[in-house]
Amino acid sequence: MEFHHVTVLLEETVNLVVSNPSGRYVDCTLGGAGHSKMILSKLGASGKLICFDQDIKAIRHAEDILGKDERVTLINRNFESLEETLGELDLLPVDGIIFDLGVSSPQLDEAERGFSYMHDAPLDMRMDSSGLLSAREIVNLWTEEELAQLIWDYGEEKWAKRIAQFITQARRERPLETTGDLVQAIKAAVPAAVRRSGPHPAKRTFQAIRIVVNDELGVLDRGLDQALNCLGQGGRVGVITFHSLEDRIVKERMKSWLGRCTCPPELPICRCNAKAKAKVITKKPLLPSQEEVEQNPRSRSAKLRVAEKI
C-alpha cells in the first residue's frame, strides 16, 4: 500500500514555524511527508530539513519522494532521541521544529498493523515494528485492574471497568488474537443504547492501548523540552495534537517555558529564579477550518500550538 496521508493544518503549521529560507528545520513526525514537502518548498538551496520517523515504511516512502533532495536527512528513529541525534550530526541549533502527533492514515488503513477497530487483523499497534510491547500482550496478560486503569487514563472511557471485565472474561476461554476479538469483547461490554449513539464503542479503548504500546505521552513529555533546547533564538516549535491528553501536556509545557514564578504566594520575594525561555505564539490553539474537516474528517480533533524561543 502507498504511504498516503492527508496532512492536517498544513499551511497554518508551516507558515507559523518556517521563516528562514536558509534555515534548518526538523519534522519530528515524517509520516506521509506532507509537512516536509511544504517546508522544502519554502527553503532555498542552502536550507536543511531533518526528518524523524520510527516507522520504517514512512522512511522508505520518503526515500522515494524526497530521497534525491540533498537538503533532506531522513532518520529512522523516534523523536525521543531528537537532541542527541541532532548533536551527533552537528546540526544544532535549528530554526524550527514540527510535531504532528498520533497515528497516521496509512497506519490506520493498513489492516495488518492492528491499529484500526474497523479491520480484523492481528493485535499489534506498534509504530516501530521492533518494539517489544504489543497490544496482544496488554490485552491477554495485564490484570483486569491494570486494563481498567489504562482504558480510563488514556482513553477517558466511562465504561473502562466493564470493558476490562469483559476482556478478561473473554480471554479465559481463549486468548484474544485479533482486533476483531477485542472489538467483540468491547461491544459486549458497552450497553446497546450507547452503541447506537455516539462514536464506535471501541474507539477510546483502541486509542488507550495504542498510546501505551508506543509510550506516546511519555515520549511527548520527554521530547518537548529537547525541542526547545535544540532551537536557536527566535526558533519556533509547532505541535499538532489530536486528543486532550496530548494537548494538556503541550499546553502545560509551553506555559512552563514562560518562566512564571512558582513560589508560594506568601513568600515576599521570588526564590525559584523563574526565567522565561519562550513565548507562546498561539494564545489559543488553532483549529482546522470547517472546509478542512469536511474534506478530511480525521482532522476534526486537531489542535495546533506554537511557541518561540527567546
Q: Which residue has the cell 532555498?
A: 44
Terminal Cα-to-Cα distance of the chain (whole angstroms) = 43
Determine contact, residues 8/240, Cβ cutoff 8 Å.
yes
C-alpha cell at 246: 496530548
- Amino acid 83 reads E
Determine contact, residues 225/249, Cβ cutoff 8 Å.
no
Q: Name the DSSP letter for residue 133.
A: -
Q: Whole-angstrom Cα distance, residue 285 to residue 304? A: 5
Q: Whole-angstrom Cα distance, residue 179 to residue 202? A: 10
To the question of whether residue 124 is assigned a binding role by annotation, the answer is no
To the question of whether residue 109 is assigned a binding role by annotation, the answer is no
Determine contact, residues 156/217, Cβ cutoff 8 Å.
no
Between the CA of residue 101 and those of 190, 246, 269, 270, 297, what are the distances in Å?
28, 8, 40, 36, 16
Q: Which residue has the cell 468491547?
A: 186
Question: 176 in helix, strand or coil?
Answer: coil
Q: In sequence order, which residues have a C-beta less than 8 Å from that of residue 75 and are 6 or more positions away?
A: 50, 51, 52, 53, 85
To the question of whether residue 119 is assigned a binding role by annotation, the answer is no
Relative to beta strand 72-75, strand 94-100 is unpaired
Q: Whole-angstrom Cα distance, residue 238 to residue 95? A: 12
For the chain, helix, strand, coil in percent to 5 are: 45, 15, 40
To the question of whether residue 33 is assigned a binding role by annotation, the answer is yes
To the question of whether residue 100 is assigned a binding role by annotation, the answer is yes
Return binding residues for S-adenosyl-L-methionine. Answer: 33-35, 53, 79, 100, 107
Return binding residues. Answer: 33-35, 53, 79, 100, 107
